[in-house]
Amino acid sequence: MKQKEFIKKISLFLILPAALLLSSTVLAQHEARIVINADLGEQQISRHIYGHFSEHLGECIYGGYWVGEDSDIPNTRGIRNDVVDALKATNIPNLRWPGGCFADEYHWMDGIGPREERPTMINTHWGGVTEDNSFGTHEFLDLCEQLDAEPIIVGNVGSGTVEELSKWVEYVNFDGVSPMANLRREHGREDPWGVVYWGIGNENWGCGGHMTPEHYAILYRNYATYARNYGDTRLRKIAGGANVNDYNWTEVMMRTIPHWLMWGLSLHHYTTDWYNKGPATGFPEYRYFDIINRCYDIEHVIRRHMTVMDRYDPQKNVALVVDEWGTWYDVEPGTNPGFLFQQNTLRDAFVAGISLNYFNEMSERVRMANIAQTVNVLQALIHTEDEKMVLTPTYHIFEMYKGHHDATLLPLHLETGYYEFEGESVPALSASASKKDGRILLSVVNVDPRQDSELMVDLRGQDVSDFSARILTADELDAHNTYDNPDEVVPQEFNSGRLSNNELRVTIPAKSVVVFEIN
């Protein structure tokens, strides 16, 4: 056995208890400094960076959103009221559907019309379960209207046809007399929905067809051409982009596809070790450090993709759309391995906080992102079981960060100490600042599990007089909310720090996320 692996394994027994319940004892303190230039911001942080992804996978749709009109669970036209209310509290900006891998085997006409007449299908990607297509286009767009969120529909390129996608756009968006518009009216919807965002396939380098980038780029040009604009609805088409660090895929897309034909180019980046994902709870410190280190790596990956895009599009007309991101662990014991249900802990809140801070920083190019996934799957914001619902630590990050939506990004300079483990290190703090309606929002993540950070914030370019703050933390890194204990990890008022002469001095506790509102 290699020495490093032996050290990792022995740490399970000698360094920490079995569930890695790290002590909250502070061993030392980092010194950190943030300079915020409140008068120099120019770039707007798009609210669509805070978007979501919901696939026909496990219990994300069925049981997560959809229970049917006859359910005893309170619902509006079959859609759970509690889930809608919870997501609306985060100001959810958009929702991506029906996949994911599922999108490239989904034939939309099977999911319209009377539900009792809809054909069933086998979800070959996720568990091999049979679906009855009771949740289709009308139900999804009803959900988006209830959420007041922009829909993002991903079309079928892998097993579909140009005609199929073209007719879907016509069915959804055309206001005149045509076969598809008339069919929509027959199914109870008079007015078109006017859906703007359309993905042209998903992961076409993998589950969406195992295509070469050259082949997909030509298909994209064909499919996108026949996804027409109708009336005042101008489509924003999203090309299927790279997997993590496949920079050649981005190169071929930017070189081959006319930029006026694609609003955005996607990127998928999961924070995981694909060969050894590990558990969602009960993890040793080396796994915690590895996940945080991998999360920080998204900055390097995005910068490389943006460098390629800048070479072909220096005006930054094409958005980078990170439409699948988040953590991916082993499924919870006893659950269907094809349903990808994992617990969600304080560690996941840190991944969300760091990622969103960085998306804010890169908002000149990153103009949309979608965490995977919203309910019951992977890094979910919400878990449901029958009539029960619980909000995860990741949910609370999205709610705490909602003040960044459509705010002006403020230039921020961060000097921080480092969280060190087994000879490696990552920045202890991650931060982002924005300004809207005269108030400054500052989000700070301290990933060090033991050391507080003594932070001085130098606010320049605007006089400030007071502040408030909330903190998300817990005694253990794998702390999580359950149906029996839903408030184990929830935001609390943070009544610490001193503001004087435009300087905020505050101690950021170990393993915490703190969001300040400065007036």
Active site residues: 203, 324
Please name the amino acid found at residue 209: G
Contacts of 305 (CB under 8 A, 6+ apart): 241, 242, 247, 250, 267, 320
**CB distance 250 to 241 below 8 Å:** yes
Query: How many angstroms separate the Cα of 43 from the Cα of each of 51, 270, 312, 433?
Result: 19, 26, 21, 12
For the CA atoms of 333, 336, 338, 341, the dihedral, rounded to the nearest 10 degrees, stands at -60
Question: What H or E segment, with its residue span, contains residue 75?
Answer: strand 75-76
**CB distance 455 to 497 below 8 Å:** no
**CB distance 196 to 144 below 8 Å:** no
How far apart CA 401 and CA 148 sit, in angstroms, is 18
In 10 A of CB 2, how many CB atoms? 7
How far apart CA 199 and CA 36 sit, in angstroms, is 37
Instruction: Specify the length of the chain in residues.
Output: 519
How far apart CA 10 and CA 32 sit, in angstroms, is 33
**CB distance 455 to 516 below 8 Å:** no
**CB distance 442 to 19 below 8 Å:** no
Please name the amino acid found at residue 311: R
User: Hey, what long-range contacts does 495-504 have (CB within 8 A, 24 or more apart)?
Assistant: 495/469, 496/469, 497/467, 497/469, 499/464, 499/465, 499/466, 499/467, 502/458, 502/459, 502/460, 502/462, 502/463, 502/464, 503/456, 503/457, 503/458, 503/459, 504/455, 504/456, 504/457, 504/459, 504/467
Helix 81-88 × helix 137-147 angle, to 10°:
50
Contacts of 139 (CB under 8 A, 6+ apart): 66, 77, 78, 79, 111
Beta-bridge partners for 62: 66
Checking DSSP bridges between strand 429-436 and strand 439-446, what pairing results, if any? antiparallel
